Structure 1
Protein backbone atom coordinates (compact mmCIF):
# COMPACT_ATOMS: atom_id res chain seq x y z
CA UNK A 1 0.00 0.00 0.00
CA UNK A 2 1.33 3.38 -0.93
CA UNK A 3 0.73 6.19 1.51
CA UNK A 4 -0.10 9.62 0.14
CA UNK A 5 1.28 12.74 1.82
CA UNK A 6 -0.88 13.38 4.90
CA UNK A 7 -1.20 16.66 6.77
CA UNK A 8 -1.77 15.39 10.26
CA UNK A 9 -1.73 18.63 12.16
CA UNK A 10 -3.65 21.07 10.00
CA UNK A 11 -5.66 22.46 12.93
CA UNK A 12 -2.54 23.10 14.99
CA UNK A 13 -1.02 24.96 12.07
CA UNK A 14 -4.11 27.11 11.73
CA UNK A 15 -4.08 27.88 15.47
CA UNK A 16 -0.44 28.91 15.24
CA UNK A 17 -1.14 31.21 12.31
CA UNK A 18 -4.14 32.74 14.06
CA UNK A 19 -1.90 33.71 16.96
CA UNK A 20 0.18 35.75 14.51
CA UNK A 21 -2.57 37.19 12.33
CA UNK A 22 -6.31 37.81 12.46
CA UNK A 23 -7.77 35.66 9.69
CA UNK A 24 -11.13 36.29 8.08
CA UNK A 25 -13.82 33.60 8.16
CA UNK A 26 -13.34 33.17 4.42
CA UNK A 27 -9.63 32.43 4.88
CA UNK A 28 -10.32 29.92 7.65
CA UNK A 29 -13.01 28.19 5.58
CA UNK A 30 -10.52 27.82 2.75
CA UNK A 31 -8.42 25.62 5.06
CA UNK A 32 -11.01 23.90 7.25
CA UNK A 33 -13.88 23.67 4.77
CA UNK A 34 -12.46 24.14 1.27
CA UNK A 35 -14.73 24.39 -1.76
CA UNK A 36 -14.57 21.34 -4.03
CA UNK A 37 -13.31 21.45 -7.60
CA UNK A 38 -16.15 22.20 -10.01
CA UNK A 39 -17.75 19.05 -11.46
CA UNK A 40 -15.68 16.90 -9.08
CA UNK A 41 -18.49 14.34 -9.04
CA UNK A 42 -17.84 13.76 -12.76
CA UNK A 43 -14.29 12.57 -12.01
CA UNK A 44 -14.52 10.40 -8.90
CA UNK A 45 -17.69 8.73 -7.69
CA UNK A 46 -17.64 7.57 -4.05
CA UNK A 47 -19.91 4.80 -2.84
CA UNK A 48 -20.41 6.93 0.26
CA UNK A 49 -19.02 10.25 1.43
CA UNK A 50 -20.00 9.92 5.09
CA UNK A 51 -19.73 7.12 7.64
CA UNK A 52 -21.40 7.02 11.04
CA UNK A 53 -19.01 5.30 13.44
CA UNK A 54 -21.73 4.89 16.07
CA UNK A 55 -20.62 5.04 19.69
CA UNK A 56 -16.99 4.30 20.49
CA UNK A 57 -15.05 4.38 23.75
CA UNK A 58 -11.74 6.08 24.43
CA UNK A 59 -10.59 2.57 25.37
CA UNK A 60 -11.26 1.23 21.85
CA UNK A 61 -8.43 0.59 19.42
CA UNK A 62 -8.11 2.88 16.38
CA UNK A 63 -10.95 2.23 13.94
CA UNK A 64 -10.50 1.99 10.17
CA UNK A 65 -13.20 3.26 7.80
CA UNK A 66 -13.02 2.54 4.07
CA UNK A 67 -14.23 4.89 1.34
CA UNK A 68 -14.27 3.36 -2.16
CA UNK A 69 -14.26 5.53 -5.26
CA UNK A 70 -14.38 4.93 -9.02
CA UNK A 71 -12.87 7.05 -11.76
CA UNK A 72 -15.89 7.67 -13.99
CA UNK A 73 -14.11 10.20 -16.20
CA UNK A 74 -12.06 9.79 -19.35
CA UNK A 75 -8.72 10.89 -17.87
CA UNK A 76 -6.64 9.35 -15.12
CA UNK A 77 -6.86 10.96 -11.70
CA UNK A 78 -3.70 11.25 -9.59
CA UNK A 79 -4.34 11.77 -5.88
CA UNK A 80 -1.58 14.03 -4.58
CA UNK A 81 -2.50 14.42 -0.92
CA UNK A 82 -5.23 13.86 1.66
CA UNK A 83 -5.56 16.32 4.52
CA UNK A 84 -7.49 15.70 7.74
CA UNK A 85 -9.06 18.18 10.15
CA UNK A 86 -7.91 16.33 13.27
CA UNK A 87 -4.67 14.77 14.42
CA UNK A 88 -6.82 11.86 15.63
CA UNK A 89 -7.33 10.79 12.00
CA UNK A 90 -4.88 9.74 9.32
CA UNK A 91 -5.47 8.65 5.75
CA UNK A 92 -4.07 6.17 3.25
CA UNK A 93 -4.94 5.29 -0.33
CA UNK A 94 -4.05 1.95 -1.89
CA UNK A 95 -3.20 3.45 -5.28
CA UNK A 96 -2.90 7.20 -5.91
CA UNK A 97 -3.14 6.73 -9.69
CA UNK A 98 -6.71 5.90 -10.70
CA UNK A 99 -7.24 5.18 -14.38
CA UNK A 100 -10.66 5.53 -16.05
CA UNK A 101 -12.98 2.78 -14.84
CA UNK A 102 -10.69 1.76 -11.98
CA UNK A 103 -11.51 1.78 -8.28
CA UNK A 104 -9.42 2.93 -5.33
CA UNK A 105 -9.86 2.65 -1.58
CA UNK A 106 -9.15 5.43 0.89
CA UNK A 107 -8.81 4.29 4.49
CA UNK A 108 -9.34 6.76 7.32
CA UNK A 109 -8.00 5.55 10.66
CA UNK A 110 -9.65 7.25 13.63
CA UNK A 111 -8.12 7.02 17.12
CA UNK A 112 -10.78 7.71 19.81
CA UNK A 113 -8.30 7.99 22.69
CA UNK A 114 -8.43 11.49 24.17
CA UNK A 115 -11.46 12.42 22.05
CA UNK A 116 -14.55 12.11 24.33
CA UNK A 117 -17.68 13.72 22.93
CA UNK A 118 -18.94 14.15 19.37
CA UNK A 119 -17.00 12.78 16.41
CA UNK A 120 -16.88 15.11 13.43
CA UNK A 121 -13.69 14.63 11.47
CA UNK A 122 -13.16 15.25 7.77
CA UNK A 123 -10.63 14.32 5.11
CA UNK A 124 -10.09 16.29 1.90
CA UNK A 125 -8.83 14.47 -1.18
CA UNK A 126 -6.66 16.50 -3.58
CA UNK A 127 -5.68 15.54 -7.12
CA UNK A 128 -3.19 16.83 -9.68
CA UNK A 129 -5.87 18.87 -11.45
CA UNK A 130 -5.95 21.32 -8.52
CA UNK A 131 -3.62 21.87 -5.58
CA UNK A 132 -5.97 24.44 -4.02
CA UNK A 133 -9.34 22.70 -4.21
CA UNK A 134 -10.10 19.10 -3.21
CA UNK A 135 -12.02 16.69 -5.41
CA UNK A 136 -13.81 15.08 -2.44
CA UNK A 137 -14.65 15.68 1.22
CA UNK A 138 -15.08 12.58 3.39
CA UNK A 139 -16.68 12.67 6.85
CA UNK A 140 -16.75 10.43 9.93
CA UNK A 141 -19.50 11.05 12.50
CA UNK A 142 -20.32 9.47 15.86
CA UNK A 143 -19.70 9.69 19.59
CA UNK A 144 -16.88 8.74 21.94
CA UNK A 145 -17.55 7.86 25.57
CA UNK A 146 -14.86 8.56 28.21
CA UNK A 147 -12.38 5.90 29.24
CA UNK A 148 -13.44 3.58 32.05
CA UNK A 149 -10.17 4.45 33.81
CA UNK A 150 -11.43 8.01 34.23
CA UNK A 151 -14.15 6.79 36.60
CA UNK A 152 -12.17 4.29 38.70
CA UNK A 153 -12.52 6.48 41.82
CA UNK A 154 -16.33 6.51 41.55
CA UNK A 155 -17.72 3.37 43.19
CA UNK A 156 -21.37 3.71 42.18
CA UNK A 157 -23.26 4.16 38.92
CA UNK A 158 -26.71 5.73 38.63
CA UNK A 159 -27.63 5.80 34.96
CA UNK A 160 -24.88 7.95 33.45
CA UNK A 161 -24.06 9.53 36.81
CA UNK A 162 -20.95 8.27 38.58
CA UNK A 163 -20.86 8.93 42.31
CA UNK A 164 -18.34 8.18 45.06
CA UNK A 165 -20.84 7.47 47.84
CA UNK A 166 -24.53 6.63 48.20
CA UNK A 167 -24.72 7.57 51.87
CA UNK A 168 -24.09 10.90 53.57
CA UNK A 169 -23.87 11.52 57.32
CA UNK A 170 -24.41 15.18 58.15
CA UNK A 171 -23.44 14.64 61.78
CA UNK A 172 -25.02 16.70 64.54
CA UNK A 173 -27.34 19.50 63.43
CA UNK A 174 -29.39 22.11 65.27
CA UNK A 175 -32.07 24.66 64.43
CA UNK A 176 -29.45 27.42 64.31
CA UNK A 177 -27.35 25.75 61.62
CA UNK A 178 -26.97 25.99 57.90
CA UNK A 179 -24.87 23.04 56.84
CA UNK A 180 -23.56 21.97 53.44
CA UNK A 181 -22.14 18.56 52.53
CA UNK A 182 -20.78 17.32 49.18
CA UNK A 183 -20.49 14.03 47.33
CA UNK A 184 -18.13 13.92 44.33
CA UNK A 185 -19.86 12.90 41.11
CA UNK A 186 -19.29 12.89 37.34
CA UNK A 187 -21.19 12.61 34.07
CA UNK A 188 -20.07 9.45 32.27
CA UNK A 189 -22.62 9.84 29.47
CA UNK A 190 -22.67 11.66 26.15
CA UNK A 191 -25.41 14.19 27.03
CA UNK A 192 -25.61 16.91 29.73
CA UNK A 193 -27.10 15.95 33.11
CA UNK A 194 -29.19 18.15 35.39
CA UNK A 195 -29.76 16.35 38.68
CA UNK A 196 -32.42 17.09 41.27
CA UNK A 197 -34.56 15.27 43.82
CA UNK A 198 -37.99 13.77 43.13
CA UNK A 199 -40.67 15.77 44.93
CA UNK A 200 -41.97 14.07 48.03
CA UNK A 201 -38.65 12.42 48.84
CA UNK A 202 -36.80 15.53 50.01
CA UNK A 203 -37.64 16.99 53.45
CA UNK A 204 -38.33 20.72 53.35
CA UNK A 205 -35.26 21.47 55.47
CA UNK A 206 -32.98 19.88 52.85
CA UNK A 207 -32.12 21.03 49.33
CA UNK A 208 -30.17 19.15 46.67
CA UNK A 209 -28.35 20.33 43.56
CA UNK A 210 -25.19 19.72 41.59
CA UNK A 211 -22.23 22.03 41.23
CA UNK A 212 -22.04 22.97 38.42
CA UNK A 213 -25.80 23.04 37.91
CA UNK A 214 -25.47 21.13 34.63
CA UNK A 215 -22.84 18.42 34.28
CA UNK A 216 -21.52 18.26 30.74
CA UNK A 217 -20.30 14.92 29.32
CA UNK A 218 -17.08 13.77 31.04
CA UNK A 219 -17.35 16.63 33.55
CA UNK A 220 -16.75 16.11 37.25
CA UNK A 221 -18.56 18.01 39.99
CA UNK A 222 -20.35 17.65 43.30
CA UNK A 223 -23.77 16.65 44.53
CA UNK A 224 -24.57 19.37 47.07
CA UNK A 225 -26.88 18.69 50.03
CA UNK A 226 -27.74 21.76 52.11
CA UNK A 227 -29.59 21.82 55.43
CA UNK A 228 -31.57 24.81 56.70
CA UNK A 229 -31.81 24.33 60.48
CA UNK A 230 -34.61 26.91 60.83
CA UNK A 231 -36.96 24.48 59.08
CA UNK A 232 -36.28 21.55 61.42
CA UNK A 233 -39.10 22.64 63.75
CA UNK A 234 -39.77 20.02 66.44
CA UNK A 235 -37.76 17.15 64.97
CA UNK A 236 -35.24 15.55 67.31
CA UNK A 237 -32.98 12.53 67.48
CA UNK A 238 -31.35 10.25 64.92
CA UNK A 239 -32.99 10.63 61.51
CA UNK A 240 -32.43 8.97 58.14
CA UNK A 241 -33.91 9.94 54.77
CA UNK A 242 -33.86 8.16 51.40
CA UNK A 243 -33.62 10.70 48.58
CA UNK A 244 -34.67 9.64 45.08
CA UNK A 245 -32.64 11.45 42.42
CA UNK A 246 -34.26 12.92 39.32
CA UNK A 247 -32.65 13.57 35.93
CA UNK A 248 -31.08 10.13 35.54
CA UNK A 249 -32.40 6.76 34.41
CA UNK A 250 -32.65 3.57 36.44
CA UNK A 251 -34.80 1.84 39.00
CA UNK A 252 -35.65 3.91 42.09
CA UNK A 253 -33.45 1.68 44.24
CA UNK A 254 -30.52 2.32 41.89
CA UNK A 255 -30.77 6.12 42.09
CA UNK A 256 -31.36 6.67 45.78
CA UNK A 257 -28.97 8.21 48.29
CA UNK A 258 -29.37 7.91 52.06
CA UNK A 259 -28.85 10.96 54.27
CA UNK A 260 -28.56 10.64 58.04
CA UNK A 261 -28.16 13.16 60.87
CA UNK A 262 -28.47 13.62 64.61
CA UNK A 263 -30.88 16.49 65.33
CA UNK A 264 -30.32 18.21 68.68
Structure 2
Protein backbone atom coordinates (compact mmCIF):
# COMPACT_ATOMS: atom_id res chain seq x y z
CA UNK A 1 0.00 0.00 0.00
CA UNK A 2 1.23 3.48 -0.89
CA UNK A 3 0.07 6.05 1.64
CA UNK A 4 0.23 9.84 1.69
CA UNK A 5 -0.56 11.16 5.14
CA UNK A 6 -1.17 14.88 5.81
CA UNK A 7 1.42 15.75 3.17
CA UNK A 8 2.14 19.35 2.24
CA UNK A 9 4.45 20.67 -0.50
CA UNK A 10 5.77 24.23 -0.34
CA UNK A 11 8.09 26.12 -2.67
CA UNK A 12 9.37 29.02 -0.60
CA UNK A 13 6.32 30.67 0.94
CA UNK A 14 3.95 29.23 -1.66
CA UNK A 15 1.91 26.14 -0.79
CA UNK A 16 1.47 23.92 -3.85
CA UNK A 17 -0.26 21.03 -2.11
CA UNK A 18 -1.92 21.16 1.30
CA UNK A 19 -2.70 18.36 3.77
CA UNK A 20 -3.11 15.59 1.19
CA UNK A 21 -4.31 12.19 2.37
CA UNK A 22 -4.45 9.38 -0.21
CA UNK A 23 -3.97 5.61 -0.15
CA UNK A 24 -3.14 3.79 -3.40
CA UNK A 25 -3.98 0.11 -3.19
CA UNK A 26 -2.53 -2.56 -5.51
CA UNK A 27 -4.99 -3.85 -8.10
CA UNK A 28 -6.68 -0.53 -8.79
CA UNK A 29 -6.55 2.42 -11.20
CA UNK A 30 -6.66 5.90 -9.67
CA UNK A 31 -7.05 8.75 -12.15
CA UNK A 32 -6.12 12.28 -11.07
CA UNK A 33 -8.05 15.11 -12.74
CA UNK A 34 -8.33 18.85 -12.25
CA UNK A 35 -7.55 22.18 -13.93
CA UNK A 36 -4.10 23.28 -15.03
CA UNK A 37 -1.89 24.31 -12.13
CA UNK A 38 -4.10 22.63 -9.54
CA UNK A 39 -1.28 20.43 -8.17
CA UNK A 40 -1.85 17.16 -10.04
CA UNK A 41 1.75 16.63 -11.17
CA UNK A 42 3.04 17.70 -7.76
CA UNK A 43 0.84 15.06 -6.12
CA UNK A 44 2.17 12.44 -8.55
CA UNK A 45 5.80 13.42 -7.86
CA UNK A 46 5.08 13.09 -4.15
CA UNK A 47 3.79 9.55 -4.72
CA UNK A 48 6.82 8.54 -6.77
CA UNK A 49 9.38 9.98 -4.35
CA UNK A 50 10.64 12.52 -6.89
CA UNK A 51 9.95 15.26 -4.35
CA UNK A 52 9.77 15.04 -0.58
CA UNK A 53 6.90 16.55 1.40
CA UNK A 54 7.51 19.77 3.31
CA UNK A 55 5.34 18.23 6.00
CA UNK A 56 3.58 14.92 6.51
CA UNK A 57 4.60 11.44 5.33
CA UNK A 58 4.71 9.29 2.20
CA UNK A 59 5.10 5.56 2.85
CA UNK A 60 5.28 2.41 0.78
CA UNK A 61 4.31 -0.69 2.75
CA UNK A 62 4.92 1.26 5.93
CA UNK A 63 8.39 2.49 4.95
CA UNK A 64 9.11 6.15 4.17
CA UNK A 65 9.97 6.67 0.51
CA UNK A 66 12.82 8.94 1.57
CA UNK A 67 14.45 5.98 3.35
CA UNK A 68 14.32 3.70 0.30
CA UNK A 69 17.42 3.54 -1.95
CA UNK A 70 16.88 4.67 -5.54
CA UNK A 71 17.48 1.18 -6.91
CA UNK A 72 14.89 -0.31 -4.57
CA UNK A 73 12.36 2.33 -5.58
CA UNK A 74 13.04 1.69 -9.27
CA UNK A 75 12.24 -1.98 -8.75
CA UNK A 76 8.92 -1.19 -7.05
CA UNK A 77 7.58 1.56 -9.28
CA UNK A 78 7.91 2.96 -12.80
CA UNK A 79 7.16 6.53 -13.84
CA UNK A 80 6.09 7.94 -17.20
CA UNK A 81 6.53 11.73 -16.91
CA UNK A 82 4.80 14.36 -19.04
CA UNK A 83 7.90 14.72 -21.21
CA UNK A 84 11.29 13.02 -21.41
CA UNK A 85 14.32 14.59 -23.10
CA UNK A 86 17.18 12.34 -24.21
CA UNK A 87 20.70 13.74 -24.55
CA UNK A 88 22.08 11.00 -26.80
CA UNK A 89 20.95 9.48 -30.12
CA UNK A 90 19.43 6.31 -28.64
CA UNK A 91 17.70 3.67 -30.67
CA UNK A 92 14.24 2.57 -29.60
CA UNK A 93 15.65 -0.68 -28.19
CA UNK A 94 18.22 1.25 -26.13
CA UNK A 95 15.50 3.44 -24.60
CA UNK A 96 13.52 0.38 -23.56
CA UNK A 97 16.66 -1.27 -22.16
CA UNK A 98 16.81 1.60 -19.67
CA UNK A 99 13.54 0.33 -18.23
CA UNK A 100 14.78 -3.26 -18.03
CA UNK A 101 17.96 -2.15 -16.26
CA UNK A 102 16.11 0.11 -13.82
CA UNK A 103 13.75 -2.71 -12.92
CA UNK A 104 16.63 -5.13 -12.37
CA UNK A 105 15.51 -7.45 -15.16
CA UNK A 106 17.55 -9.54 -17.58
CA UNK A 107 18.30 -7.66 -20.82
CA UNK A 108 16.25 -9.90 -23.09
CA UNK A 109 15.62 -8.87 -26.71
CA UNK A 110 12.38 -10.86 -26.55
CA UNK A 111 11.09 -8.62 -23.73
CA UNK A 112 11.86 -5.50 -25.77
CA UNK A 113 10.10 -6.87 -28.83
CA UNK A 114 7.06 -7.94 -26.80
CA UNK A 115 6.76 -4.51 -25.16
CA UNK A 116 6.88 -2.82 -28.56
CA UNK A 117 4.23 -5.17 -29.88
CA UNK A 118 1.96 -4.28 -26.98
CA UNK A 119 2.18 -0.55 -27.82
CA UNK A 120 1.74 -1.28 -31.56
CA UNK A 121 5.33 -0.48 -32.56
CA UNK A 122 6.50 -3.97 -33.52
CA UNK A 123 9.76 -3.92 -35.50
CA UNK A 124 10.85 -0.46 -34.29
CA UNK A 125 13.85 -1.72 -32.27
CA UNK A 126 16.55 -0.29 -34.58
CA UNK A 127 14.79 2.99 -35.31
CA UNK A 128 16.33 6.20 -33.94
CA UNK A 129 14.25 7.55 -31.08
CA UNK A 130 14.67 11.14 -32.31
CA UNK A 131 13.32 10.13 -35.73
CA UNK A 132 9.93 9.17 -34.31
CA UNK A 133 6.82 11.30 -34.08
CA UNK A 134 5.78 12.65 -30.69
CA UNK A 135 3.07 10.01 -30.35
CA UNK A 136 5.48 7.21 -31.26
CA UNK A 137 8.01 8.48 -28.71
CA UNK A 138 5.31 8.50 -26.06
CA UNK A 139 4.47 4.87 -26.84
CA UNK A 140 8.16 3.90 -26.70
CA UNK A 141 8.30 5.34 -23.19
CA UNK A 142 5.18 3.37 -22.31
CA UNK A 143 7.00 0.23 -23.50
CA UNK A 144 9.96 1.27 -21.34
CA UNK A 145 7.92 1.52 -18.14
CA UNK A 146 6.14 -1.75 -18.93
CA UNK A 147 9.55 -3.42 -19.10
CA UNK A 148 10.59 -1.76 -15.86
CA UNK A 149 7.47 -3.07 -14.07
CA UNK A 150 8.16 -6.52 -15.47
CA UNK A 151 6.06 -9.67 -15.67
CA UNK A 152 3.36 -9.71 -12.94
CA UNK A 153 3.66 -13.49 -12.66
CA UNK A 154 7.20 -12.99 -11.32
CA UNK A 155 6.40 -10.33 -8.73
CA UNK A 156 7.03 -11.15 -5.09
CA UNK A 157 5.43 -7.86 -3.97
CA UNK A 158 3.09 -5.37 -5.66
CA UNK A 159 4.46 -2.88 -8.20
CA UNK A 160 3.19 0.61 -9.01
CA UNK A 161 2.89 2.45 -12.31
CA UNK A 162 2.62 6.26 -12.46
CA UNK A 163 1.54 7.95 -15.70
CA UNK A 164 1.56 11.75 -16.04
CA UNK A 165 -0.63 12.67 -19.04
CA UNK A 166 0.29 9.48 -20.91
CA UNK A 167 -2.06 10.07 -23.86
CA UNK A 168 -1.48 13.77 -24.53
CA UNK A 169 0.21 13.18 -27.92
CA UNK A 170 -1.81 10.16 -29.02
CA UNK A 171 -4.70 9.65 -31.42
CA UNK A 172 -7.85 8.06 -30.02
CA UNK A 173 -6.84 4.51 -31.04
CA UNK A 174 -3.53 4.71 -29.19
CA UNK A 175 -5.06 6.54 -26.24
CA UNK A 176 -7.22 3.47 -25.72
CA UNK A 177 -4.26 1.14 -26.32
CA UNK A 178 -2.19 2.78 -23.57
CA UNK A 179 -5.03 3.01 -21.06
CA UNK A 180 -6.10 -0.59 -21.68
CA UNK A 181 -2.53 -1.70 -20.97
CA UNK A 182 -2.53 0.25 -17.71
CA UNK A 183 -5.95 -1.13 -16.76
CA UNK A 184 -4.87 -4.70 -17.52
CA UNK A 185 -1.74 -4.25 -15.39
CA UNK A 186 -3.90 -3.14 -12.47
CA UNK A 187 -6.06 -6.22 -12.88
CA UNK A 188 -2.88 -8.28 -12.53
CA UNK A 189 -2.08 -6.63 -9.20
CA UNK A 190 -0.34 -3.33 -9.91
CA UNK A 191 -1.31 -0.04 -8.35
CA UNK A 192 -1.81 2.41 -11.24
CA UNK A 193 -2.07 6.19 -10.94
CA UNK A 194 -2.62 8.33 -14.05
CA UNK A 195 -3.07 12.05 -14.57
CA UNK A 196 -5.58 12.67 -17.38
CA UNK A 197 -7.34 15.73 -18.80
CA UNK A 198 -10.02 13.86 -20.73
CA UNK A 199 -12.81 13.38 -18.19
CA UNK A 200 -14.56 10.74 -20.28
CA UNK A 201 -11.45 8.57 -20.57
CA UNK A 202 -10.89 9.10 -16.85
CA UNK A 203 -14.42 7.94 -16.01
CA UNK A 204 -14.15 4.94 -18.33
CA UNK A 205 -10.87 3.56 -16.96
CA UNK A 206 -10.72 4.68 -13.33
CA UNK A 207 -11.68 2.61 -10.32
CA UNK A 208 -11.36 5.87 -8.40
CA UNK A 209 -11.22 9.49 -9.48
CA UNK A 210 -9.14 11.93 -7.45
CA UNK A 211 -10.03 15.57 -8.12
CA UNK A 212 -7.41 18.22 -7.31
CA UNK A 213 -8.32 21.91 -7.02
CA UNK A 214 -6.09 24.75 -5.80
CA UNK A 215 -3.62 22.38 -4.14
CA UNK A 216 -6.23 20.40 -2.24
CA UNK A 217 -8.04 17.13 -2.86
CA UNK A 218 -11.56 18.28 -3.68
CA UNK A 219 -13.08 14.81 -4.09
CA UNK A 220 -12.12 11.15 -4.31
CA UNK A 221 -14.22 8.09 -5.05
CA UNK A 222 -15.79 6.01 -7.80
CA UNK A 223 -16.44 8.00 -11.01
CA UNK A 224 -20.22 7.74 -10.73
CA UNK A 225 -20.09 9.15 -7.21
CA UNK A 226 -17.60 11.93 -7.98
CA UNK A 227 -18.58 13.34 -11.36
CA UNK A 228 -21.54 15.66 -11.12
CA UNK A 229 -22.69 18.90 -12.73
CA UNK A 230 -22.08 20.80 -9.48
CA UNK A 231 -18.57 19.45 -8.88
CA UNK A 232 -17.43 20.07 -12.46
CA UNK A 233 -18.75 23.61 -12.41
CA UNK A 234 -16.93 24.27 -9.13
CA UNK A 235 -13.66 22.73 -10.35
CA UNK A 236 -13.57 23.95 -13.95
CA UNK A 237 -15.83 27.03 -13.67
CA UNK A 238 -17.94 25.83 -16.61
CA UNK A 239 -21.60 24.75 -16.85
CA UNK A 240 -20.74 21.18 -17.86
CA UNK A 241 -23.43 18.53 -17.96
CA UNK A 242 -23.02 14.89 -17.01
CA UNK A 243 -24.92 11.99 -18.58
CA UNK A 244 -24.62 8.23 -18.26
CA UNK A 245 -23.49 5.67 -20.81
CA UNK A 246 -25.59 2.58 -21.55
CA UNK A 247 -23.08 0.67 -19.39
CA UNK A 248 -24.49 1.37 -15.90
CA UNK A 249 -22.50 3.60 -13.60
CA UNK A 250 -20.17 5.11 -16.23
CA UNK A 251 -20.73 8.87 -16.43
CA UNK A 252 -19.81 10.99 -19.43
CA UNK A 253 -19.32 14.75 -19.71
CA UNK A 254 -20.71 16.93 -22.50
CA UNK A 255 -18.19 19.74 -23.14
CA UNK A 256 -20.50 21.06 -25.86
CA UNK A 257 -22.95 22.23 -23.22
CA UNK A 258 -20.41 24.79 -22.02
CA UNK A 259 -19.60 25.82 -25.60
CA UNK A 260 -23.25 26.38 -26.47
CA UNK A 261 -23.81 28.30 -23.25
CA UNK A 262 -20.94 30.68 -24.08
CA UNK A 263 -22.42 31.31 -27.54
CA UNK A 264 -25.63 32.51 -25.93
CA UNK A 265 -23.90 34.98 -23.63
CA UNK A 266 -24.63 38.61 -24.53
CA UNK A 267 -21.77 40.53 -26.09
CA UNK A 268 -20.24 43.23 -23.92
**Which category of TM-score, normalised to the shorter sequence, fits these structures?**
under 0.3
TM-score of the superposed pair, with normalisation by structure 2: 0.24
**Bigger Cα Rg:** 1
Comparing both chains, which one has the higher relative contact order based on Cα–Cα distances under 8 Å and sequence gaps of 6 or more?
A: 2
Q: What TM-score results when the alignment is normalised by the length of structure 1?
A: 0.24
